[in-house]
Every structure is written in structure tokens, then in C-alpha cells.
């Protein structure tokens, strides 16, 4: 059994980190489900609110569960994450933009003449 | 003779850069850090693949071809239970890693089994949901929306299945090989994988299930 000091240094504080993360994630998830079902909120803003809550929860997971921090030994992980987020944004936003443009420029009825089995 | 050696030593010192000590000057990173970084890059590539599936779903979400749409198919109660299962299993996975770090065997097996049971409960609920939809005629062939839905959610479910198999393998490895360095690195990778699946599920339940039922 090889001792790895870097691994052994985490003690009870580790449990505290995970429990904090769980607590925050539960609050954010519960808020998401409430926001989607309530009639109290301004309806057009609900989708945006859900997106903000989801991004906040992903941040909580990254920091408290995956331990992506700003520590010097974590620079590479953060840079890789930044690149990944850029690609995800380009793929999702680009697809929605292009396909939205395509369907709005398609003449009325053209979609009907282009069925799936073409 | 001694003086000559001393000046050479001083010259060698002068060649070193003036900048404060960086991580790179501490020598090569430990293998645990390198392995974690490599696996993190794999996870990001997996997330990029999911981004493509999310984009396909978002584009096709209204292409129901006269078939059922999201509000008719999705049960929020079932999704809430699935979310709770996966979140709790992510937490116990963290506790499992902590137990392994401090070499507490009993706590490790307990946390691993709880993680396994919660993950299996998530998967069982998802399969039941899929079976219910198919029984009502909402198959992947029905519409582009349902094709995209089954691809996206099914791909996540497939990842969870692989994660559960991996967890069983890791429990066997700890039983046979104990907490040696290679096993600890694999446990670290497994925990990263499991937490990343939970991050994807957050995006999934928000985009598919919650935004899907909002008018």
C-alpha cells in the first residue's frame, strides 16, 4: 500500500466541502422545479431564469464536487474547461442561430414539400 | 581552485530566471495530477459531444410531426426523483473518494454501495419512463423530436450504465488490490466521470424536462 501524502491531506474538511455543495445543489434544483411550475412569475422570463439556475448549479458542481479551483496546480484544468465551454457555446448557439435563420427564410409551404423521407 | 568553482556556481545561479517559483519549477507534476488532467480533457470532449446532441434536440424540439410533444409525455414527479437519486449518488461518490483517501475500507464499501444503488434507481426510473413512452406509441421513429429526445437522454443513460459497471469493477479492484496508487488514480477518474454525468443531467433536466413543460 503506497502512501500518497497529497491524497491523504483531505480530512473532515473534505466532507464539509461535499456537504456544502450538496446543500447548494439541492436549493438550486428545488428552485428550478418551483420556477417551472409556479404561476407567480412573469412567464416569458421563466426560461431565462431556468437557464441561470442551471448554470449556477453547474458552477456549484464544478467547484464543490470536481474541485476546479483557481489554485496554481489547477490552471491547466481551468484553461481546458474554458476551451470546452467555448466549443459548447459555439456548437449550441451556432446551430440554433443557423437553423432558426434557415427556417425563417424558407418560403411558406416549402417545409411541407421537404418531408423527412427525401 | 575553490574560488573558480564558486564563481561557476554563482554564474549557474544567475542563469535562472528572476520570476518567483512557478509550478513548473517544482519538477514534473505528480502522476495523479497528470492522470486527472488527461481524464478531465476526455470529459470535456464528452461534454462537447453532448453539446451537439443538445443542439440537435433544441433545433428539433417543435418538430413533433403530429405526434405527442413534451408536455404530454413528461412526468415531473419522476424526473424530480431521478434528479434526487443522481445528486445524492454524486454526494456519496465524493464521500467514497474521501474514505478511500483515508484508507477507511468499511466506509468506502458503504459509500460505494449507496452510490451504486442510487445510480441503479436512477437508471430503473429512466428505463420505466422510456418503456411507458414507447407503450403509448411515442417511439423514436414517431417524430424528429422523439428521435432527438431518445438520443440525448438515452446517451446520458448509457453513460450512467457504463459508470455503474465501472464502479463495480473499482469495488472489485479495491477488494483484490487494496488502495494502491494505481487504484487510487482510477477511483479519482471514476469520481470525475460520475460528477460530470451529474453536471450533464443538470443541463438535461433543465432543457428537456423543465423548459419542455413551460408554455
pLDDT digits 0-9 by tens, B46-86: 999 999 999 999 999 888 888 888 788 888 899 999 999 99
Q: Report chain B's C-alpha Rg in angstroms.
A: 24
Instruction: Give me the helix-helix angle, B105-135 and B144-177, nearest 10°.
Output: 160
pLDDT in tens, A16-68: 999 999 999 999 999 999 998 888 888 888 889 999 999 999 999 999 998 88
Nearest to A6 among B32, B90, B179 (CB): B32
Dist. CA B27–CA A25, nearest whole Å: 38
Chain A touched by B34 (CB under 8 Å) = no
**What pTM was estimated for this model as a whole?**
0.84
A66: CB partners within 8 A, 6+ apart: B192, B195, B196, B199
Chain A touched by B177 (CB under 8 Å) = no
Weakest-pLDDT range from A14-23, A101-110, B6-15: B6-15
If you measure CA to CA, which chain A residue comes closest to B177? A1
Instruction: Classify each residue of B133-155 as buried b or exposed e, where b means 16 or more C-beta atoms within 10 Å of its C-beta.
Output: beeeebebebbbbbbbbbebbee
pLDDT of residue A7: 43
Residues in chain B with CB shorter than 8 Å from the CB of A76 are 37
Over residues B115-125, mean pLDDT: 96
Q: Is the pLDDT of residue A114 over 60?
A: no
Chain A touched by B44 (CB under 8 Å) = yes
With beta carbons less than 8 A apart as the criterion, state whether B167 and B117 touch. no
The predicted complex's ipTM stands at 0.81
Nearest to A61 among B47, B103, B202 (CB): B202
CB contact under 8 A, A72 and B23: yes
Chain A touched by B51 (CB under 8 Å) = yes
pLDDT of residue A68: 84
Q: Which residue has the cell 492522470?
A: B35
pLDDT of residue B30: 84
Higher pLDDT, B13 or A21: A21
Over residues A92-101, mean pLDDT: 92
Chain A touched by B87 (CB under 8 Å) = yes
Over residues B184-201, mean pLDDT: 95
Q: Which residue has the cell 424530480?
A: B80
Chain A touched by B175 (CB under 8 Å) = no
Residues in chain B with CB shorter than 8 Å from the CB of A57 are 202
Our CA dihedral for B67, B125, B100, A65, rounded to 10 degrees, sits at 40
Residues in chain A with CB shorter than 8 Å from the CB of B195 are 61, 65-66
Dist. CA B84–CA A53, nearest whole Å: 16
CB contact under 8 A, B206 and A50: yes
For residue A75 the three cell numbers come to: 490552471
User: H or E segment at A91?
Assistant: helix A75-105
If you measure CA to CA, which chain A residue comes closest to B51? A88
Q: How many CB pairs under 8 A join A and B?
A: 133
User: In angstroms, how far is the first alpha carbon of chain A from the final one?
Assistant: 62
With beta carbons less than 8 A apart as the criterion, state whether B61 and B74 touch. no
Q: Is the pLDDT of residue B102 over 80?
A: yes
Higher pLDDT, B203 or A70: B203
Amino acid at each position: 500500500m503506497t502512501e500518497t501524502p497529497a491524497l491523504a491531506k483531505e480530512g473532515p474538511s473534505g466532507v464539509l466541502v461535499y456537504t456544502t455543495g450538496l446543500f447548494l445543489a439541492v436549493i438550486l434544483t428545488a428552485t428550478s422545479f418551483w420556477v417551472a411550475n409556479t404561476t407567480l412569475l412573469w412567464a416569458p422570463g421563466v426560461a431565462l431564469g431556468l437557464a441561470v439556475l442551471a448554470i449556477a448549479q453547474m458552477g456549484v458542481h464544478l467547484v464543490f464536487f470536481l474541485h476546479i479551483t483557481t489554485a496554481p496546480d489547477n490552471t491547466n484544468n481551468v484553461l481546458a474547461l474554458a476551451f470546452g465551454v467555448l466549443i459548447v457555446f459555439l456548437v449550441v448557439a451556432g446551430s440554433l442561430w443557423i437553423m432558426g435563420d434557415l427556417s425563417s427564410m424558407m418560403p411558406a409551404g416549402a417545409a411541407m414539400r421537404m418531408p423527412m423521407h427525401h | 581552485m575553490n574560488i573558480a568553482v564558486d564563481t561557476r556556481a554563482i554564474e549557474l545561479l544567475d542563469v535562472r530566471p528572476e520570476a518567483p517559483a512557478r509550478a513548473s519549477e517544482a519538477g514534473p507534476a505528480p502522476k495523479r495530477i497528470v492522470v486527472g488532467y488527461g481524464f478531465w480533457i476526455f470529459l470535456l470532449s464528452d461534454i462537447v459531444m453532448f453539446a451537439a446532441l443538445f443542439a440537435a434536440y433544441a433545433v428539433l424540439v417543435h418538430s413533433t410531426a403530429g405526434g405527442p410533444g413534451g408536455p404530454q409525455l413528461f412526468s415531473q414527479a419522476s424526473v424530480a426523483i431521478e434528479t434526487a437519486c443522481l445528486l445524492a449518488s454524486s454526494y456519496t461518490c465524493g464521500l467514497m473518494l474521501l474514505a478511500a483517501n483515508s484508507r477507511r475500507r468499511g466506509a468506502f464499501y458503504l459509500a460505494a454501495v449507496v452510490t451504486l444503488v442510487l445510480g441503479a434507481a436512477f437508471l430503473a426510473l429512466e428505463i420505466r419512463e422510456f418503456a411507458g413512452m414507447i407503450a403509448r406509441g411515442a417511439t423514436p421513429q414517431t417524430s424528429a423530436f422523439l428521435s432527438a429526445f431518445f438520443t440525448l437522454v438515452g446517451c446520458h443513460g448509457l453513460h450512467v450504465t457504463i459508470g455503474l459497471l465501472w464502479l463495480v469493477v473499482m469495488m472489485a479492484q479495491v477488494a483484490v488490490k487494496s488502495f494502491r496508487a494505481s487504484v487510487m488514480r482510477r477511483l479519482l477518474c471514476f469520481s470525475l466521470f460520475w460528477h460530470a454525468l451529474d453536471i450533464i443531467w443538470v443541463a438535461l433536466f433543465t432543457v428537456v424536462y423543465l423548459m419542455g413543460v413551460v408554455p
